A and B are shown apart, each in its own frame.
Chain A
Amino acid sequence: MADAPRTPAPKRKLIDPHIHMVSRTTDDYQAMANAGVVAVIEPAFWTGQPRTEIGTFKDYFSCLVGFERFRASQFGIKHYCTIGLNSKEANNEALAEEVIELLPRFAGKEGVVAIGEIGYDEMTKAEEKFFRVQLELAREMDLPVMIHTPHRNKKAGTSRSMDVCMEHGIPPSKVVIDHNNEETCKEVLDRGFWAAFTIYPKTKMGNKRMVEIAKRYGSERVIVDSSADWGISDALAVPKTADLMLASGLAEAAVHAMCYANALAAYGQSGQMKESDWLDARAIDPKREFEGNSLLRGGGPEAAEDSRIIE
């Protein structure tokens, strides 16, 4: 815990509904907890290096519901996840078929709040096929869907993602369209989908631009996330955006909606995510949460007051 902020946790509560914690350090967890993040959603995604074996997918999904959940709990942060085959790796068709077989084993587990992140990367035939298969799985399991919209050809990819959801009879109210920008968000909101914005340095969205979007479109069905991962990204993007929004004169209620309540409402439709999970976490589950401290040895919230000292 070299330089983690030691300020007491603020009273406000925030949710980062899209962050890849497997790539982040305990310093990030500590800083997030200090900044008021009470819950995170970790979507299953690719991990930078393409996978070539089904076993690595199995272990990755297991990590999302196992060790990563435990790591988060040590900092008082509730960890949820989404399960799915991402669009990039859908292009390895033989492997993708095996992953699809594996998904039901995880999709019904505790704390799995959506099928995702799924959608398009290059909009290939293989991506299309596995996108549709997973929309059917979401429908069967009555789970929300988290859509990753492509970096290239984004506008067309975003429209197409929504069309395909509608074709499969998934109501827009159960679909979060993520990584929106100024060009995509109007259509997403007009069609009744949740519109998530990823505050990710230099690529997807900056927090100043986000403030302008919030001023223009309001807070209804708008969600802020970080998508922080193994790239140059910021695990504090949600707190920083909330701060900037308040400083820019946006109403507290609107900021609360975009940085907490809307994500809870959207993913809460899974039945797997409730506010009481973190408000009553100690009372409900004192054994399982908060107590395990094997990672906290020599660090963590009770570490030395003087950050130059390592005890």
Chain B
Amino acid sequence: MSAQTLLLNWLKPRLAPESLAWLEEKAALLATGAPEKTVSLAFSMALRYSGKAPLALDAAALKAARTEVPGWNPSDWTCDDAARVFLLLSLPPGTASSGIMDRLYQTADVAEAAALQKAVAVLAFPEGHLARAREALRSNIKAVFEAITLRNPYPALNFDNVGWNQMVVKTFFVESPVHEIEGLDRRVNPPLSRMLSDLAEERWAAGRAFSPQLWRCVGPCADSRGLDNLKKALAQGAPAEKRAAVLALQSCPDPQAALILQAEPALAAAAREGTLTWENL
């Protein structure tokens, strides 16, 4: 079942029959190369037919989403997101449609911009959406930034380390839930580890708090400064930060890490045995 079919199936019980008919009619038009004006009007007007209620998908639907597109997690999608992405999926994949989407993005309202970013999770021709997805990382509108960053498989698959690292650090910076980044552990890298060590030091100096998940991306590639910071977090951190430091040190291949862990034998054992995890931090 394609992502587009899934979206249609989810919308069916949630929309009035005439709204659904409007949506399918527009999708058919878009599939056959409708003028750009038709696309932009349909994309805007979709909200009037869909409403903006949460889709509120159940576990089976979310599983179907993951099965169709690994990492796709539309748990926070609304009906207008679904309707708009349904329309975008009708456009023939390629540079022409990507260009149309770029221009839609330039004139998008907040909800439209967020839908365009959520869409890249399921759109074909990923290279055609790269610049637009990177642009969302520069947005100060949190809903737009989070639409690309959280619960979306696109960044881990398509961003280079420069883009990825900016995204992860900004997620900490604006205090969005980092653990909802798809592929977070897969994409750790030494420059990211160093940038996050810098951020931790900045926050310590300013007396400001930060998410203990920060250590999750420091640990696997920690250099000597990273290890020093982990040692400090372990010694001086609040309980959640202590536990995070233990998990981070556990993930670090440097033998120095195991030595530092000796300071907290009980927590270290919990981490080894899997009773302490990033999920139950």
Q: Could you tell me which A residues sit within 8 Å of B by CB distance? A: 58, 61-62, 65-67, 69-70, 104-106, 108-111, 271, 284-285, 287-288, 291-295
Contacts and interface: CB of A to CB of B under 8 A. Distances in A.
Interface residues of B, number: 24
B106 A62 contact: yes
B47 A292 contact: no
Nearest to B36: A105
Contact of A293 (B45, B76, B109, B175): B175
B110 A65 contact: yes
Given A108-B44, A110-B47, A65 B52 contact: no
Given A105-B44, A291-B142, 4 more contacts: A65-B110, A66-B141, A109-B44, A285-B52
Given A67-B140, A105-B40, A110-B47, A294 B111 contact: no
Contacts of B195: none
A37 B142 CA distance: 23
Contacts of B114: 288
A188 B143 CA distance: 42
A118 to B, nearest CB: 20
B186 interface: no
B143 A292 contact: yes
Interface of B: 37, 40-41, 44-45, 47-48, 52, 76, 106-114, 140-143, 174-175
Interface majority SS on A: helix, strand, loop or mixed? loop
A125 B107 CA distance: 30
A287 B110 contact: no
Given A292-B143, A293-B142, A295-B140, A69 B110 contact: yes
A104 B37 contact: yes
Contacts of A66: 108-110, 113, 141
A295 B40 CA distance: 30
A66 B108 CA distance: 7
B109 A58 contact: no
9 contacts: A66-B110, A67-B141, A70-B110, A104-B37, A109-B109, A285-B52, A287-B143, A288-B110, A294-B142
4 nearest A-B pairs in the assembled complex, by CB-CB distance? A292-B142, A65-B109, A70-B141, A108-B44
**Which of A106, A108, A111, A292 has its CB near the most chain B CB atoms (within 10 A)?**
A292
